[in-house]
């Protein structure tokens, strides 16, 4: 079998009429071009050029091979263009939306490893607590804590159970003890707020007559995490991350009717876009591994 580089030299000499001009076009030495022509002739058993003082001229055999050689080059060019197009599609920006509390705890090492594995992909991280509309193009991928995600055309998977339940810091527990029943909660201060978390959290507090126990309110779930880490009091956090915080202790089990899960989602029109598929598969693998720890 002949070498593709030999065929490129054959075409360059056929088009320019000399090994010198071909070498300049190919950005190699004249000796290299002459050697490749000789190698191609040996491989095919054909004399492709007449060596004349004025340059190289195609023989009858060379003329007969020219059309096939051009077809090979055209096919190689099409292959390169297709590969380049796919490479460009596989790279680019992927927008990922999730609650800030996940963005500042579990995601940084995962996104670091994603960047190392796929440097052609850039992540734009949206940390809004309110769910973005994937159908409207507000984001490409979402990591959501939800009982059942809603939205047109959503596809994805449930990564793990993720109930929101009550936590304290180890320092707080050492100083004030841990409430082991809902009846003991009234003796402890609560950290409230949490942006989009606040409505169901407030309903939970109201159910047990604990609204007056809130001593500080934050406007984000990350604020809840910061407050409970400080030892200020108790708060509700997502178990998927809070159970992995070495300084936190779960005070009471979640309500049995709480079936909240951690979901990895995209829109059906994006699921086969190479860069989105790459990020989805990577996140699914890493988050699932984290859930199994």
3-state secondary structure the chain: CCCHHHHHHHHHHHHHCCHHHHHHHHCCCHHHHHHHHHHHHHHHCCCCEEEECCEEEECHHHHHHHHHHHHHHHHHHHHHHHHHHHHHHHCEEEEEEECHHHHCCCHHHHHHHHHHHCCCEEEEEECCCCCCCCCCCCCCEEEEEECCCCCCCEEEEEEEECCEEEEEEHHHHHHHCCCCCHHHHHHCCEEEECHHHHHHHHHHHHHCCCHHHEEEEECCHHHHHHHHHCCCCEEEEEHHHHCCCCCEEECCCCCCCCCCEEEEEEECCCCCCHHHHHHHHHHHHHHHHHHHC
State the Cα–Cα distance between residues 211 and 251, nearest whole angstrom: 18
Q: Are 193 and 223 in contact (CB under 8 A)?
A: yes
Strands 190-193 and 214-218: parallel
Q: What is the pLDDT along the chain (293 residues), one digit of tens a residue?
A: 678 889 999 999 999 999 999 999 898 999 999 999 999 999 899 999 999 888 899 999 999 999 999 999 888 888 877 666 565 556 789 999 999 999 999 999 999 999 999 999 999 999 987 888 898 889 999 999 888 888 888 999 999 988 888 999 999 999 999 988 878 898 999 999 888 788 888 888 888 889 999 999 998 888 999 999 999 999 999 899 999 999 999 998 887 666 789 999 999 999 888 999 999 999 999 999 998 88
Give pLDDT, residue 263.
Answer: 94
From 234, 239, 247, 227, select the one nearest 171 (Cα to Cα): 247
| Contacts for 126 with CB less than 8 Å, ≥ 6 apart | 95, 96, 97, 98, 132, 138, 139
| pTM greater than 0.75 (yes/no) | no
Q: Are 190 and 236 in contact (CB under 8 A)?
A: no
Name 58's bridge partners.
49
What tokens does 287 get?
């988050």
Rg of the chain in Å (alpha carbons): 32
- Tokens 């193009």 locate to 137
Strands 154-161 and 190-193: unpaired
């Amino acid at each position: 079998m002949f070498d593709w580089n030999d065929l490129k030299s054959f075409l360059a000499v056929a088009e320019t009429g000399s090994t010198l001009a071909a070498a300049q076009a190919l950005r190699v030495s004249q000796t290299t071009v002459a050697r490749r022509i000789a190698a191609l002739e040996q491989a095919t058993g054909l004399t492709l050029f007449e060596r004349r003082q004025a340059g190289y001229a195609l023989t009858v055999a060379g003329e007969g091979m020219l059309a096939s050689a051009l077809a090979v080059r055209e096919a190689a060019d099409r292959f390169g263009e297709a590969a380049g197009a796919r490479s460009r599609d596989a790279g680019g920006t992927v927008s990922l939306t999730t609650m800030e509390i996940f963005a500042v705890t579990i995601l940084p090492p995962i996104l670091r490893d994603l960047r190392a594995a796929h440097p052609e992909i850039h992540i734009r991280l949206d940390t809004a607590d309110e769910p973005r509309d994937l159908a409207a193009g507000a984001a490409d991928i979402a990591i959501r804590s939800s009982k059942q995600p809603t939205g047109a055309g959503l596809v994805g998977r449930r990564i793990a159970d993720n109930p929101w339940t009550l936590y304290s810091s180890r320092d707080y527990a050492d100083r004030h003890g841990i409430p082991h029943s809902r009846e003991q909660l009234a003796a402890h201060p609560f950290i409230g707020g949490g942006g989009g978390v606040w409505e169901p959290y407030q309903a939970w507090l109201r159910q047990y007559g604990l609204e007056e126990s809130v001593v500080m309110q934050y406007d984000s779930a990350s604020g809840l995490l910061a407050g409970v880490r400080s030892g200020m009091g108790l708060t509700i956090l997502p178990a998927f991350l809070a159970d992995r915080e070495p300084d936190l202790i779960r005070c009471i089990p979640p309500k049995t009717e709480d079936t909240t899960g951690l979901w990895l989602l995209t829109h059906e029109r994006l699921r086969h876009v190479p860069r989105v598929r790459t990020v989805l598969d990577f996140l699914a693998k890493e988050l699932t591994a984290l859930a199994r720890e």
